[in-house]
Structure 1
Amino acid sequence: MTIELWTLFGAAALLWIAILAQQLALDVAVGAQYALSNREQDHNFKGATRLHGRLTRTVRNHVEGLAIFAPLILIAAVAGISNIWTQWTAIAFLVTRCLHLLFYAAGITPFRSFAWAIGFFLSLGGFVFGLVIG
């Protein structure tokens, strides 16, 4: 398996971790009974914490990032392209997504935005360049 595919696996695992953290934060705030229910009735989440809100937004943001990242990785895999550009930008994407999750959960706004920008622009641009020269 290529480095790029491993980073896609890592990004999917990070999403799983973020979803788990989000659910655990909600369980702590409003109780596990809601999590175990069939959720047919709306819950007002008045007891939900700011951490749960930040984790919810992190999950949403990570899904959006994967919607861009995953096709690029799969295109490279199908085309048989793996070079220094695709490898390092895929690694940069995964590292910045990890940092983004940590900074967002902790509420560290400037660093969160910086990690997102690096992951989005550098990784996307570098990866597309790697595909073109590949």
Structure 2
Amino acid sequence: MTPELTVLAFALLLQAAQFVAYSIRANLDVGPGYAMSARDREPSRPISELGGRLLRALNNHFEGLTLFTAAVVIVTLGDQSTPFTATCAWTYLGARILYVPAYALGLRPWRSVVWMVGFIATFAMVIAALL
């Protein structure tokens, strides 16, 4: 397995961990009755600020993971894996790991800076595969 595919596997595990963190917070916020319901109505208790931030970080990673997966596929199927693309992949994962607490804690502008590092690392992989 290429290093990029290994990082992709870890990124998927990170996505699962983010989902669990959000689910726990949201269940604590709205209560088990609403959490287990069909959710045909709005909850009687709102989701907390932290719960909202965890949800937005989770959704943001879904979006970033789509681009990162495409970059990994391009590098792997194009047989373009290099130490540079591997470093970019690990940089993406590191940025995504840091992004969760940065978003959850409302760290500005660091949340955006960390996001940009992961974004640049993803597209650096694509550009490297094309060269």
TM-score between the two structures when normalised by the length of structure 1:
0.90
1:111 positional shift: 1.3
Local SS of the residue matching 1:109? coil
**What is the one-letter code of the residue matched to 1:51?**
L
Of residues 63-72 and 102-111 in structure 1, the stretch that sits farther from structure 2 once superposed is: 102-111
Q: Number of residue pairs matched?
A: 131
Q: Take 2:34 and 2:79, find their aligned partners in 1: how far apart are those partners?
A: 47
Name the stretch that deviates more: 22-31 or 124-133: 124-133
Matched AA of 1:12: L
CA distance in 2, matches of 1:63, 1:30: 23
- More deviation, 92-101/102-111: 102-111
2:9 alignment counterpart: 9
Letter in 1 for 2:53: R
The aligned residue for residue 123 of structure 2 is: 125
Deviations 1:8-60 (A, max 9, x none): 11111111111111111111111122222232x12246431100100111011
5+ residue gaps in structure 2? Answer: none
Letter matched to residue 27 of structure 1: N
**Alignment map for 1:56-71 (pairs within 5 Å):** 56-71=55-70
Q: Is the 8 A contact 1:26 1:48 kept in 2?
A: yes
Alpha-carbon spacing, 1:35–1:44, altered in 2? closer, same or farther (3 Å): closer
> Which runs of 5 or more structure 1 residues have no equivalent in the other structure?
none
Deviation at 1:91, TM superposition (A): 0.5
Give the distance between the partners of 2:20 and 2:60, measured in 1 at CA: 15
Tell me the percent identity: 32
Distance in 2 (alpha carbons) for counterparts of 1:90 and 1:5: 9
TM-score, length-scaled by structure 2: 0.92
CA distance in 1, matches of 2:83, 2:5: 14
Q: Is contact 2:57-2:100 (8 Å) kept?
A: yes
Does the aligned pair in 2 maintain the 1:76–1:82 contact within 8 Å? yes
Q: Give the match for residue 46 of structure 2.
A: 47
* Residue 128 of structure 1, CA deviation: 1.8
